[in-house]
Every structure is written in structure tokens, then in C-alpha cells.
């Protein structure tokens, strides 16, 4: 895979989905209370506005009450300039989300393929950099799924590497993000993992691990509200930031990257 400058952060479009009231029944590793559908929707509107202000055309799909976690649209699909790959989330309650998002993908891309085989991949375990796509094995992404996904990416001309997500990390991107320009934001555990080679790292300050999940969107980095040390570290590294509330998403293990599919379809 050649180095595609800006592949990981230069976008023109995004797909999101309005949180449903049923999100109160969403999956979570630790119970810190149920999210409010109404408050989540308020935060989601601010999220969509931030994407739009960063230069994206955003499609907001309607809420799906039958799928509590369906606002986390990143997990059932992965988008590249030439097409989309429908993934297979590794939780039974999310089976069917791919079918629901397929029409939105078909509207944008001429090529949409399904993950081969019977393995599972959550999009939250996939970190796209400009020169490699990292796939983290986790409780939601198994080796069969990761290998099948890597094969599809290889057929499309992309280099993929499979990584062992450190124990205790829900999704690979729970603990790391690309800031763009070759710089990685990571928790200390991920920074010490060796996954990122010689790339420059910004290490998330102690006590703010949740803030490792940020998204670079064109010229800004969206950062979750309430993590001042991480915000300062990102800004000190030379990046412009925009703060976005994710208090309700966090209650169901969600973060900024989970809430949108971001892409720049080939002309």
C-alpha cells in the first residue's frame, strides 16, 4: 500500500444515525447508569454540527429502536475512497445493523462488499492510518474476521496488519487514535505496545484514558469534553481542537469515532 497522504483524516462526507430511546439498553462493559435518549440526541446534534463545521456533508439516518447500539454506525461498516465493506459486529444484539445501513452505503458507493466467511469485525477495532490499516483482535473482533477483512483490504491494494489488543481494552480504538500527519494519540498501554513503530506519539495523561478516542476531521481534532490534560497535550503537539460532549455515549462504551462513518468517495 502506497502512502496515501490524508487518507485517515481528509474527508468530505459522513454518515451518522440518531440515537434511539432504546439506547438505554445498549451494551456496556461497566454499568455507570443508563443514557438518556433525549440528552444523547442533544449531544449528537452538537457532534453532527462539529462534523459539518469541519467541512463534511453529513447524512443523519433515523433512529432504530429495534437496535439499541445502532447510533454507533462505525461498527457495521468500513469506508474507503473506492467503496465500503460491510462488517459483522461481534455481538448478537447488533446482528442486522449492517442490513439497515446498507442503503446509505449503496447511495454513496458503487462498490459495497460484505465481509467474507463467518468471522466478526467491529469497526471500532480498525485504525486507518495513511500507510497501513491496523485491525485489533478483541472480544468483538476475532481472528477469522480479521484475516478475512485483511484479505479484502489486500485485494483493494491496502496494507493491513492484525494486532493483539491489550487485555482490558474493549476496542482497539478505545485506546488510540490518529491525529493525522503520522502522529498517534494513545494510552500508555497502547503507546508501550510497539504497534506504531517509529511514529511520533502523544500519550494520554494518567486518569484520562477515555480521551484516547478522538477523531481528526480535515483541519481539526474533535476531543471529548471533560479531559483538559489530553486536550492540552493535543494542542501542544500542534493540532487545532474542537471539544464535543460525549457524556451519554460513554455510558454505553461509545466515543467520538463510533458515532460516524467518515469518508471521501473517489470522484
- Entry field: residues in the chain: 267
Q: What is the mean pLDDT of residues 54-66?
A: 97
Residue 140 belongs to domain spanning: 13-169+247-263
Q: Which residues are catalytic?
A: 171, 258
237: which 3 cell numbers?
503537539
| Residue whose grid cell is 481534532 | 221
The confidence band for 232, taking pLDDT boundaries of 50, 70 and 90, is very high
Q: Tens digits of per-residue pLDDT, 122-161?
A: 999 999 999 999 999 998 999 999 999 999 999 999 999 9
Q: Classify residue 155 by its DSSP letter.
A: H
Rg (alpha carbons) of the chain, rounded to whole number: 17
Strand order across the 126-128 sheet: 126-128, 133-137, 160-164
The pLDDT assigned to 3 comes to 62
- Indicate whether 42 belongs to any domain: yes
Question: Does 73 or 139 have the greater pLDDT score?
Answer: 73
The pLDDT assigned to 237 comes to 98
Q: What is the mean pLDDT of residues 211-237?
A: 98
Compute the distance between CA of residue 22 and CA of residue 24 in angstroms, rounded to an integer: 5
**Single pTM value for the model:** 0.95
pLDDT value at 1 more than 60: no
- Indicate whether 221 belongs to any domain: no
The pLDDT assigned to 131 comes to 94
13-17/261-263 β-pairing: antiparallel
The confidence band for 4, taking pLDDT boundaries of 50, 70 and 90, is confident
| Residue whose grid cell is 480535515 | 218
Q: Classify residue 174 by its DSSP letter.
A: G
- Indicate whether 191 belongs to any domain: no
DSSP assignment of 91-144 equals SGGGTTHHHHHHHHHHHH-S-EEEPPSS--B-GGGEEE-SS-EEEEE-SS--HH
- Indicate whether 140 belongs to any domain: yes
The confidence band for 80, taking pLDDT boundaries of 50, 70 and 90, is very high
- Indicate whether 216 belongs to any domain: no
Q: Tens digits of per-residue pLDDT, 234-258?
A: 999 999 999 999 999 999 999 999 9
- Indicate whether 210 belongs to any domain: no
Find all residues with CB under 8 Å of 173, minimum gap 6, and list them.
Answer: 124, 125, 126, 127, 136, 213, 255, 257
Domain count within the chain: 1
The confidence band for 167, taking pLDDT boundaries of 50, 70 and 90, is confident
- Is residue 47 helix, strand or coil? helix
Q: Could you tell me the CATH number of the domain that includes residue 95?
A: 3.75.10.10
Amino acid at each position: 500500500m502506497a502512502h496515501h497522504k490524508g487518507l485517515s483524516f481528509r474527508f468530505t462526507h459522513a454518515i451518522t444515525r440518531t440515537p434511539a430511546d432504546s439506547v438505554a439498553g445498549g451494551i456496556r462493559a461497566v454499568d455507570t447508569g443508563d443514557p438518556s435518549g433525549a440528552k444523547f440526541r442533544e449531544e449528537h446534534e452538537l457532534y453532527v454540527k462539529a462534523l459539518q463545521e469541519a467541512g463534511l456533508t453529513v447524512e443523519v439516518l433515523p433512529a432504530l429502536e429495534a437496535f439499541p447500539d445502532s447510533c454507533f454506525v462505525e461498527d457495521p461498516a468500513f469506508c474507503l475512497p473506492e467503496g465500503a465493506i460491510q462488517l459483522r459486529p461481534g455481538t448478537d444484539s447488533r446482528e442486522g445493523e449492517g442490513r439497515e445501513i446498507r442503503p446509505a452505503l449503496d447511495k454513496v458507493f458503487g462498490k459495497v462488499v460484505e465481509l467474507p466467511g463467518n468471522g466478526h469485525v467491529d469497526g471500532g477495532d480498525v485504525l486507518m492510518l495513511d500507510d497501513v490499516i491496523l485491525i485489533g483482535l478483541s472480544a468483538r473482533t476475532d481472528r477469522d474476521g480479521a484475516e478475512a477483512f485483511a484479505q479484502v483490504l489486500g485485494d483493494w491494494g491496502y496494507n493491513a496488519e492484525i494486532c493483539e489488543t491489550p487485555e482490558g481494552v474493549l476496542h482497539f480504538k478505545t485506546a488510540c487514535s490518529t491525529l493525522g500527519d503520522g502522529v498517534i494519540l494513545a494510552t500508555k498501554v497502547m503507546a508501550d505496545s510497539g504497534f506504531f513503530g517509529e511514529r511520533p506519539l502523544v500519550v494520554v495523561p494518567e486518569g484520562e484514558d477515555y480521551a484516547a478516542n478522538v477523531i481528526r476531521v480535515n483541519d481539526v481534532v474533535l476531543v471529548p469534553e471533560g479531559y483538559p490534560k489530553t486536550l492540552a497535550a493535543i494542542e501542544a503537539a500542534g493540532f487545532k481542537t474542537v471539544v464535543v460532549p460525549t457524556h451519554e455515549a460513554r455510558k454505553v462504551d461509545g466515543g467520538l469515532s463510533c458515532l460516524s462513518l467518515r469518508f471521501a468517495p473517489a470522484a
